[in-house]
Amino acid sequence: MRTIEKIVLLLLTILLIMSVNVKATADYFDPYHLFKFRVPVGWIFQVSESETDLLVFYGPSQDELLYIEYFKEISDQSSLEFAERVIEHYDSVYGLVDFELVQELELKEIDGISTADVVYSYSGTKNRTEHRIFAVLHDYGLTITFSDAHDHYHEGEVQFELILDNWTWVR
């Protein structure tokens, strides 16, 4: 085999390997040891966008986001109280532009822990819909949020439900 043929064969092999769609999932353990969850195929942890109290994951479509925020030493005694306070803020004159509840606030159990669950929309650089879960654990407030462009929200919401189905609180 000539050198040029070997190089072409090598390049084709490399391209084939790079084009294989890996279908692996991974478990993500949070830095505060409060939870873990299965990251769906196509979702990527964004180290550069994340901070000490904010974890950001990008979904496979252009506008899908999963972000988890930590609120240390909150005074709220329950997930419902925490959610009501935040929603009141979002719905105020200094809150989110065009804030609107899509699904009323309700209690939801995730891995044996009572959380508060709400879906809302608002206007920003794009019109977005967010499904947010509020939890109070060990003096931490925690929100788990799936966010997407309003027009595509329902397509990605299934992924968020899969994430929540595999959510485990570390006790």
Segment 61-74, tens digit of pLDDT: 889 999 999 999 89
Buried b (16+ CB within 10 A) or exposed e, 142-151: bbbebbbbbe
Taking the C-alpha atoms of residue 106 and residue 117, their distance in angstroms, rounded to an integer, is 5
pLDDT band at 3 (very low <50, low <70, confident <90, very high): low
pLDDT band at 8 (very low <50, low <70, confident <90, very high): very low
Q: Is 133 helix (H, G, I), strand (E, B) or coil?
A: strand
Dist CA 123 CA 160 (whole Å): 21
Instruction: Tell me what the mean pLDDT of segment 44-52 comes to.
Output: 94
Give yes or no for residue 15 having a pLDDT over 60: no
> Could you tell me if residue 4 is inside a domain?
no
Tally of domains within the chain = 1
The CA-based angle 164-48-115, given to 5 degrees, is 25
- Indicate whether 164 belongs to any domain: yes
Residue 13: inside a domain: no
Q: Is 82 a member of any domain?
A: yes
For residue 76, the enclosing domain spans: 22-169
**pTM metric for this prediction:** 0.83
Whether 6 shows a pLDDT value over 60: the answer reads: no
Residue 129 has pLDDT above 90, yes or no: yes
State the Rg of the chain over Cα: 20
Q: 């992924």: which residue's tokens?
A: 159
130 in a structural domain: yes
For 67, the 3-state DSSP assignment is: strand
| CATH code of the domain containing 93 | 3.40.1000.10
Answer yes or no: is 127 within a domain.
yes
pLDDT of residue 61: 86
What is the four-CA torsion angle of 131, 154, 97, 124, rounded to 10 degrees? 110
CB 131, CB 144: distance < 8 Å: no
pLDDT above 50 (res 50): yes
Any bridge partners for residue 140, and if so which? 72, 137
- Asked if residue 16 belongs to a domain, the reply is no
- Residues 66-120 have pLDDT tens digits of 999 999 989 999 999 999 999 999 999 999 999 999 999 999 999 999 999 999 9
The mean pLDDT value for 124-149 works out to 93
- In three-state secondary structure terms, 41 is coil
